[in-house]
Amino acid sequence: MEKRYLLPREVAEATVNSGVVKANLSISRLILLGIFAGIFISFGAYGDIVVMQSLKNIDIGIMKFMGAFVFPVGLMLVVIAGAELFTGNNLMTLALMDGKITLRGLLKNWVFVYIGNFIGSILIVIVIFKAGLLKDRAADLSIAIAKGKLGLTFEVAFLRAVLCNIIVVLAVWMATAAQDIVSKIFACWFPIMLFVLSGYEHSIANMFFIPMGKLLGLSVTWGEIFIKNLIPVTIGNIVGGGLIVPLVYYICYIKPFKEKEKVNIS
């Protein structure tokens, strides 16, 4: 019987190999693919607002679930269509731990992908705003979402971001394990739906949500957007997706085999 998925050890190897490829991408490709990822995540974030706008007065739980139902399309596009997403690329630390890439290569990817993600997100914010696609209840909801995110303390934003990217990189991990498109879709949908429903904080999604609230009338400076939300959320995302998950999987799925290889060689 044909195996339709990779085992955790195989996923770890594939993730390391992917990290090597990502670390060696040119800056132009990192920015272009980063812009696409920002656009893709913004598509999901916009759909989230549109779905939720008419459900707030019916039931909060249903409203959050329906928003969470459509949001995962962003990661599906990143994984299947191809793009570079900062939060997913936090898994590159697995390749760093394995000694297959340098810190410089990792930081080059993260910095330029993050910049690309921001550019892509802002482009979609401007286009949606200029197209008049968020009005009335949708506009009010968008402003409320942005205001809520900016009202979080550093600690709360950081902790929610840690939880968020643990789930996001696990979604990427499972999508890597999946060997067909339908399986990759389900691997992306369930975890991402859960993080949105749970109210966790995703730095790239917030690059859409908060600037959109600003354009729609929320009084906030760009400095406040970064200091009050994007900086603590970005740090939290790195801890969750770049430290916690990769460290555990390195210890469990890579390090024992490296030690065994050393023993066999000696």
- 2 located within any domain: no
Q: How far apart are CA 86 and CA 168, in angstroms?
A: 11
Query: Which helix (H) or strand (E) element contains residue 11?
Result: helix 8-23
- 1 located within any domain: no
> Is it the case that residue 177 has pLDDT exceeding 80?
yes
- 3 located within any domain: no
The Cβ of residue 54 has, within 10 Å, a number of other Cβ atoms equal to 13
Domain residue limits at 214:
8-265
- 84 located within any domain: yes
| Number of folded domains that form the chain | 1
Which pLDDT score, from 0 to 100, does residue 259 have?
Answer: 65
- 180 located within any domain: yes
For residue range 97-149, what is the model confidence (pLDDT) as tens digits?
Answer: 999 999 999 999 999 999 999 999 999 999 999 999 999 999 999 999 999 99
The 3-class SS string of 168-228 reads HHHHHHHHHHECCHHHHHHHHHHHHHHHHHHCCCCHHHHHHHHHHHHHCCCCCCHHHHHHH
> Is it the case that residue 260 has pLDDT exceeding 70?
no
Global pTM value: 0.94
> Is it the case that residue 56 has pLDDT exceeding 80?
no
Where does the pLDDT of residue 60 fall: very low under 50, low under 70, confident under 90, or very high at 90 and above? Answer: confident
- 21 located within any domain: yes
Task: Please state the rounded mean pLDDT for residues 242-251.
Answer: 97
Q: How far apart are CA 124 and CA 41, in angstroms?
A: 10
> Is it the case that residue 263 has pLDDT exceeding 70?
no
- 116 located within any domain: yes
> Is it the case that residue 192 has pLDDT exceeding 80?
yes
Q: Which amino acid is at 129?
A: F
Q: Which amino acid is at 165?
A: N
Task: Please state the rounded mean pLDDT for residues 197-222.
Answer: 97
Where does the pLDDT of residue 4 fall: very low under 50, low under 70, confident under 90, or very high at 90 and above? Answer: confident
Of 160, 189, 154, 169, residue with least CA distance to 244: 169
* 115-124, 141-150, 171-180, 253-262: range with lowest mean pLDDT: 253-262
Say which DSSP state 109 is in.
H
Which pLDDT score, from 0 to 100, does residue 264 have?
Answer: 60
Q: How far apart are CA 188 and CA 193, in angstroms?
A: 8
Task: Please state the rounded mean pLDDT for residues 210-219.
Answer: 96
Task: Please state the rounded mean pLDDT for residues 227-239.
Answer: 98
**CATH number of residue 191's parent domain:** 1.20.1080.10
- 91 located within any domain: yes
Which pLDDT score, from 0 to 100, does residue 80 have?
Answer: 97
Which pLDDT score, from 0 to 100, does residue 1 have?
Answer: 58
